[in-house]
Chains A and B, each alone.
Chain A
Amino acid sequence: MAFSQGFTPHPKISYASAAPTGVASEAEYLEIGLREPVDPAQLQVALDNALSPGLDVLDAVVAAGGSLADRIGASRWRMELPEVAPAVLAQAVAAFTEAEEVLVERMTKQGRRTFDSRGAVVSIDVDEGSATPSVASAVPCAILEMVVRQVTPSVRPDDVLSGLRVVAGLEPPVAPKVIRLAQGTLTAQGVIVDPLDADRDGAAIGGR
Chain B
Amino acid sequence: MSVPSTTPRPVAANSVWPRLEPLLPQVTKPIQYVGGELGAVVKDWAAATVRWALMYPDAYEVGLPNQGVQILYEVLNELPDVLAERTYAVWPDLEKLMRAHGVPQFTVDAHRPVRDFDLFGVSFATELGYTNLLTAIDLAGIPLLAADRTDADPVIVAGGHAAFNPEPIADFIDAAVLGDGEEAVLEITTIVREWKAEGRPGGRDELLLRLARTESVYVPRFYDVDYLPDGRIQRVVPNRADVPFRVHKRTTMDLDAWPYPRKPLVPLAETVHERYAVEIFRGCTRGCRFCQAGMITRPVRERSITTVGQMVQQGLEFSGFHEVGLLSLSSADHSEIGDMCSGLAEQYQGTNVSLSLPSTRVDAFNIELAQELSRNGRRTGLTFAPEGGSERIRRVINKMVSKDDLIRTVVTAYTNGWRQVKLYFMCGLPTETDADVLEIADMAHEVIKAGRAATGSKDIRCTVSIGGFVPKPHTPFQWAAMERPEVIDGRLKLLKQAINADRSLGRAIGFRYHDGEPSLIEGLLSRGDRRVGAVIRRVWENGGRFDGWSEHFSYQRWVDAAAETLPAFGVDLDWYTTRERDELEVLPWDHLDSGLDKDWLWQDWQDALSEYEQDDCRWTPCFDCGVCPAMDTEIQIGPTGRKLLPLTPVNGLKLPTGAQQ
- Chain A nearest Cβ from B42, distance in angstroms: 8
A43 contact set on B, CB distance < 8 A: 653
Q: How far is the CA of A50 from the CA of B268 in the complex (A)?
A: 11
17 contacts between A and B (CB under 8 A): A8-B378, A26-B4, A41-B661, A42-B659, A45-B653, A45-B659, A49-B654, A49-B655, A50-B654, A51-B38, A52-B36, A52-B38, A53-B36, A58-B4, A175-B25, A175-B26, A182-B1
Task: Check A56 for interface membership: any CB of B closer than 8 A.
Answer: yes
Q: Cβ of A46 and Cβ of B1 under 8 Å apart? A: no
Task: Check B34 for interface membership: any CB of A closer than 8 A.
Answer: yes
In this complex, the member of A8, A38, A49, A182 whose beta carbon has the largest number of chain B beta carbons within 10 angstroms is: A49
Task: Check B652 for interface membership: any CB of A closer than 8 A.
Answer: yes
Q: Cβ of A52 and Cβ of B34 under 8 Å apart? A: yes
Task: Check A181 for interface membership: any CB of B closer than 8 A.
Answer: yes
A192 contact set on B, CB distance < 8 A: 1
- Chain B nearest Cβ from A98, distance in angstroms: 29
Q: Cβ of A22 and Cβ of B24 under 8 Å apart? A: yes
A41 contact set on B, CB distance < 8 A: 661
Task: Check B257 for interface membership: any CB of A closer than 8 A.
Answer: no
| CB within 8 Å of A: which B630-661 residues | 652-656, 659, 661
Chain A residues with CB under 8 Å of chain B are 3, 7-9, 21-22, 26-27, 38-39, 41-43, 45-46, 49-56, 58, 175, 181-182, 192, 194, 208
- Chain A nearest Cβ from B660, distance in angstroms: 8
Given contacts A49-B656, A50-B38, contact A21 B30 (CB under 8 A): yes
Task: Check B556 for interface membership: any CB of A closer than 8 A.
Answer: no
Q: Cβ of B30 and Cβ of A54 under 8 Å apart? A: no
Q: How far is the CA of A38 from the CA of B652 in the complex (A)?
A: 7
* Chain A residue at smallest Cβ distance from B661: A42
A38 contact set on B, CB distance < 8 A: 652-653
Q: How far is the CA of A46 from the CA of B660 in the complex (A)?
A: 10
Q: Cβ of B654 and Cβ of A46 under 8 Å apart? A: yes
Q: Cβ of A22 and Cβ of B25 under 8 Å apart? A: yes
Task: Check B37 for interface membership: any CB of A closer than 8 A.
Answer: yes
In this complex, the member of A41, A43, A52, A192 whose beta carbon has the largest number of chain B beta carbons within 10 angstroms is: A52
A55 contact set on B, CB distance < 8 A: 36
| CB within 8 Å of A: which B154-184 residues | none
Q: Cβ of B6 and Cβ of A26 under 8 Å apart? A: yes
Task: Check B377 for interface membership: any CB of A closer than 8 A.
Answer: yes
Q: How far is the CA of A131 from the CA of B480 in the complex (A)?
A: 72
Q: Cβ of A54 and Cβ of B655 under 8 Å apart? A: no
Q: Cβ of A53 and Cβ of B3 under 8 Å apart? A: no
A49 contact set on B, CB distance < 8 A: 654-656, 659
* Chain B residue at smallest Cβ distance from A6: B377
- Chain A nearest Cβ from B653, distance in angstroms: 4
- Chain B nearest Cβ from A118, distance in angstroms: 24
Q: How far is the CA of A45 from the CA of B6 in the complex (A)?
A: 14
* Chain B residue at smallest Cβ distance from A179: B3
- Chain A nearest Cβ from B649, distance in angstroms: 12
Q: Cβ of A45 and Cβ of B1 under 8 Å apart? A: no
* Chain A residue at smallest Cβ distance from B31: A21
A45 contact set on B, CB distance < 8 A: 653, 655-656, 659
A27 contact set on B, CB distance < 8 A: 4
- Chain B nearest Cβ from A22, distance in angstroms: 3
A26 contact set on B, CB distance < 8 A: 3-4, 6
CB within 8 A of B7: which of A9, A39, A56, A182? Answer: A56
Q: Cβ of B1 and Cβ of A53 under 8 Å apart? A: no
Q: Cβ of A50 and Cβ of B378 under 8 Å apart? A: no
Q: How far is the CA of A7 from the CA of B268 in the complex (A)?
A: 25
Q: Cβ of A42 and Cβ of B3 under 8 Å apart? A: no
Q: Cβ of A54 and Cβ of B25 under 8 Å apart? A: no
Q: How far is the CA of A195 from the CA of B14 in the complex (A)?
A: 40
Q: Cβ of A181 and Cβ of B30 under 8 Å apart? A: no
Task: Check B92 for interface membership: any CB of A closer than 8 A.
Answer: no
| CB within 8 Å of A: which B461-489 residues | none
* Chain B residue at smallest Cβ distance from A8: B378
CB within 8 A of A54: which of B9, B352, B654, B656? Answer: B9
Q: Cβ of B1 and Cβ of A54 under 8 Å apart? A: no
Q: Known pairs A51-B38, A208-B5. 14 more at Cβ < 8 A?
A: A3-B352, A22-B30, A43-B653, A45-B655, A49-B659, A50-B654, A52-B34, A52-B35, A53-B36, A54-B6, A58-B4, A58-B6, A175-B26, A181-B3
* Chain A residue at smallest Cβ distance from B37: A52
* Chain B residue at smallest Cβ distance from A49: B656
- Chain A nearest Cβ from B418, distance in angstroms: 14
B7 contact set on A, CB distance < 8 A: 53-54, 56
Task: Check B199 for interface membership: any CB of A closer than 8 A.
Answer: no
Q: How far is the CA of A42 from the CA of B34 in the complex (A)?
A: 27
Task: Check B102 for interface membership: any CB of A closer than 8 A.
Answer: no
- Chain B nearest Cβ from A53, distance in angstroms: 5
- Chain A nearest Cβ from B94, distance in angstroms: 13
Q: How far is the CA of A182 from the CA of B2 in the complex (A)?
A: 9
- Chain A nearest Cβ from B70, distance in angstroms: 17
- Chain B nearest Cβ from A184, distance in angstroms: 8
A58 contact set on B, CB distance < 8 A: 4, 6
* Chain B residue at smallest Cβ distance from A36: B651
Q: How far is the CA of A58 from the CA of B2 in the complex (A)?
A: 14
